[in-house]
Structure 1
Amino acid sequence: MNTSLRQPNDGTGLFGEQYSRRNRPQPTRDGEQTGRWIALDESGWDGDQLYGGSRSRYMIIGSVAISDEEAVDLVDDLRRTTRVQAPELKFGTSFARDGQTQRRKALAALLGPGGALEKRASVYVLDKHYFIVGKLIDLFIEEQAYKQGLDIRNTGVARKMARDLFTEGPRALGSTLFNRLLAATVAFTSHKNRDQQVSVDDFYDVVEEAWARSSRRNVTRLLGLLRTTRAEAREYLDDAFGPDASLPAALEPLIPGVAAVTGNWSRRVGRANILTDDQRALTDQHLDNIDDDARGLGHPEFRHISRDVRLGELLRGKSSDHPSLQLADLVAGAGFAVAKRHDGHITPAGEDLYPVIVPLIDPAGMLPHDEPNRVAQAGAPAAVSQSR
């Protein structure tokens, strides 16, 4: 079945006022003046419920530097090679199952050395547990420091704080209490707390207990700083859930993830146009926030991402209209299978694909270390234990 650039429908599959503007039904084409198109899709997304009920510890954003004009032939070739009969190429249905080894080999050939997508695909890995710890620093300690005229984010201090707390916290507090701190952070900051059933006092009761029981100096120091941020926590509730709420969904990882991938690609290719799959979390407003940030106009929560970014368009599309998004789906799905393998969930897809996927992992992803090659380890010991 030929997937030639078909006539578009009238937008994405999302309906309502929040999805009325930033849609791209037409095929994408690169241009010397307009820049390169980058297609993005995700796998492993659970919204802002990042702990406890999450189906995976990792979220993946797969991206490919390719326009629809070029992607259509690659999709048709891959369809013929793999004999996929479905209307669209989807990793989960056509490449992930036990008996689909030959299809995975064809995908690996496309992405690996000498393949048509060599050096044009990227896998952004976000460790949800580390993301929680990072937000604990960003939303409270970093905000307090910013008021005092201190830049702990762009200087790398906030990142070091997050890594210290993440790597040393389970030993300093014991895994049970450290996990309670993660769960309390999610309960307090997530959208589910818009009715503020989890109060500032509820959250800081856990912080105080963690501080009192900490057995490591770095962790005790960080929790000591956190103890002094009740004012910032109250401001957070007002900014996120109050009548004049202005803060974007702070614990929604897809929004900063898309912003980060946008910036990382622009720094590689220059002017970048971003086409995302029509994910419900990516409302017009959230895409506006990312766009504003790329132009240095964004909310202070995103003020660190805009350096050296040249963003053209930032739009949504349906994968049925955009073969480039189908390729992004394959990259995201493959990345998710490899991340699950790293987390101890061994599947044939993860085993087959990790040699070609690990080299594609963005070193600027949301991981608690600077070594993407660690993801090649199967069932690597986690810094945070969680019963499943």
Structure 2
Amino acid sequence: MVTGQDLEIACDESGAEGENLTAAITDVFAHASVSMEIEAADDVIRVLRDRIRSPATEYKANHLLRGKHRSALVWLLGPSGPIYGTARVYLVEKRFFIVSRIVDLLDDPYSPSLGFYRRFETETLYRTGPTLPGWIPLLESFNDVMRARVPAQTFYDRLNDLRAPELTGPLAATRPNLDAYLERPAEDPRTIPVLDPLIPAIIQAVVAWSSSGRPVEVVHDRQTTLSEERIVELKGVFNDPRLASRARLAGLRLTESRLDARIQMADFLAGVARKIASEELNGRGDAELNDLLRHYVDPASLWGHEASWSHLHP
């Protein structure tokens, strides 16, 4: 229940493909959160309808990303725009995320991501791995193991194929940690997916907005990942000592974006942020849009590509 002391944020994502990271259509996941009144969000949508003049019943980010509507996008993100200072976006480079999850096998017990990771080991493997033959098959095998498509040994075989013991030696000894995780009851509806970036994104949204000193109430667009059982599990995550002292989740409820204009604002930001960030990641960056977006980007975003991050970080 929201109280006068709670800070309510509305959230949505773009680029979600569950635990499919290596064969995903998108290479970036974005999760946006906004803190504004529903009436203010309704006003923004009315302005955008007037600017874009599309017959669509519900506007999406792809409307703003069309070249002919660039002025509307610049207005929305700009310093005099309606969401400046009231919105954040958490970016996840999917390739970097899966590398971080591989490195997390060093942790006992292995568990779903809270958004923390072994920075030094992850960045080292992320930078060095692509220079080795068999790197992509390694990532694909890990993704398949975690999705119960191939046996765990497949990953360790691919790890051995890299023939870089100085880099992968510690990971070769993690089989007990992975086996212990895989032996959990797969049918347990509470089980939080290890490779789905949505959960760490929600956690980081609560952490970021908790800087206000108020408990955070999350209103989120409906997602299949967010079952009732997993929401209960997610709430329990905030008892972790690494989170308890700096993040307070007052509650989380789901609704449809068409019923809450604030979620449409989050959808706009997540969608355009994912596209802008992906273009920069692939060497097709837009300097003006990068500069506008960086004011919203969470510095704790999971991003490993240094050249693109230099144009995206706040």
235, 242, 245: which is aligned to 2:180?
235
Q: Given the alignment of the two structures, is residue 164 of structure 1 paired with residue 124 of structure 2, yes or no? A: yes
CA distance in 2, matches of 1:79, 1:87: 10
How far does residue 31 in structure 1 lie from its aligned partner after superposition? 5.6
Corresponding letter in the other structure for 2:123: R
How far does residue 244 in structure 1 lie from its aligned partner after superposition? 6.5
Per-residue Cα deviation, 1:318-377 (whole angstroms, up to 9, x for no partner): 111100011111101110121121132749xx5663221122111101112789852459
CA distance in 2, matches of 1:31, 1:70: 20
CA distance in 1, matches of 2:226, 2:311: 28
Q: Given the alignment of the two structures, is residue 317 of structure 1 paired with residue 255 of structure 2, yes or no? A: yes
CA distance in 2, matches of 1:115, 1:102: 11
How far does residue 245 in structure 1 lie from its aligned partner after superposition? 8.3
Q: Given the alignment of the two structures, is residue 54 of structure 1 paired with residue 24 of structure 2, yes or no? A: yes
CA distance in 2, matches of 1:61, 1:353: 18
Aligned partners of 1:38 and 1:67 also within 8 Å:
no
Per-residue Cα deviation, 1:148-198 (whole angstroms, up to 9, x for no partner): xxxxx99x8822211111112223xx2x411121111101112xx1xxx52
155, 159, 162: which is aligned to 1:203?
155
* Equivalent residue runs for 1:82-101 within 5 Å: 82-92=52-62, 94-101=63-70
* Paired position in structure 2 for 1:4: none
TM-score, with structure 2 as normaliser: 0.87
* Paired position in structure 1 for 2:73: 104
* Paired position in structure 1 for 2:227: 283
Q: Identify if the C-alpha distance between structure 1 residues 371 and 129 changes in structure 2 by more than 3 Å, giving closer, same or farther.
A: same
Give the match's secondary structure for 1:359: coil
CA distance in 1, matches of 2:185, 2:173: 20
Corresponding letter in the other structure for 1:39: A
Higher Rg: 1
* Paired position in structure 2 for 1:133: 99
Aligned partners of 2:189 and 2:230 also within 8 Å:
no
How far does residue 136 in structure 1 lie from its aligned partner after superposition? 1.0
Q: Identify if the C-alpha distance between structure 1 residues 362 and 244 changes in structure 2 by more than 3 Å, giving closer, same or farther.
A: closer
Corresponding letter in the other structure for 2:15: G
Corresponding letter in the other structure for 1:63: S
Per-residue Cα deviation, 1:226-255 (whole angstroms, up to 9, x for no partner): 1112111211111263x7786421111112
Gaps of 5+ in 1: 1-23, 25-29, 147-152, 215-219, 298-302, 378-388
How far does residue 128 in structure 1 lie from its aligned partner after superposition? 0.7
Q: Given the alignment of the two structures, is residue 327 of structure 1 paired with residue 287 of structure 2, yes or no? A: no
120, 132, 135: which is aligned to 1:178?
135
CA distance in 1, matches of 2:297, 2:237: 24
CA distance in 2, matches of 1:316, 1:244: 21
Aligned partners of 1:62 and 1:124 also within 8 Å:
yes
Give the match's secondary structure for 2:259: coil
Aligned partners of 2:14 and 2:270 also within 8 Å:
yes
287, 290, 307: which is aligned to 1:354?
290
Q: Identify if the C-alpha distance between structure 1 residues 236 and 144 changes in structure 2 by more than 3 Å, giving closer, same or farther.
A: closer
Aligned partners of 1:144 and 1:229 also within 8 Å:
no
35, 40, 55: which is aligned to 2:11?
40
Aligned partners of 1:104 and 1:352 also within 8 Å:
no
Q: Identify if the C-alpha distance between structure 1 residues 305 and 207 changes in structure 2 by more than 3 Å, giving closer, same or farther.
A: farther
CA distance in 2, matches of 1:60, 1:70: 23
* Paired position in structure 2 for 1:119: 85
Corresponding letter in the other structure for 1:162: T
How far does residue 78 in structure 1 lie from its aligned partner after superposition? 3.2
CA distance in 1, matches of 2:16, 2:191: 21
Per-residue Cα deviation, 1:262-303 (whole angstroms, up to 9, x for no partner): 222222452211111112222222222221112x06xxxxx6
CA distance in 2, matches of 1:41, 1:145: 27
Q: Please, what is the CA RMSD of the aligned residues? A: 3.0
CA distance in 1, matches of 2:193, 2:39: 34
Higher-RCO chain (CA-CA 8 Å, sequence separation at least 6): 2
Corresponding letter in the other structure for 1:337: K
Corresponding letter in the other structure for 1:183: E
* Paired position in structure 2 for 1:142: 107
CA distance in 2, matches of 1:144, 1:311: 24
Q: Identify if the C-alpha distance between structure 1 residues 270 and 58 changes in structure 2 by more than 3 Å, giving closer, same or farther.
A: same
TM-score, with structure 1 as normaliser: 0.72
Q: Given the alignment of the two structures, is residue 188 of structure 1 paired with residue 140 of structure 2, yes or no? A: no
Per-residue Cα deviation, 1:207-243 (whole angstroms, up to 9, x for no partner): 2222xx22xxxxx4452111112111211111263x7
Across the two proteins, how many residue pairs are aligned to each other?
Answer: 311
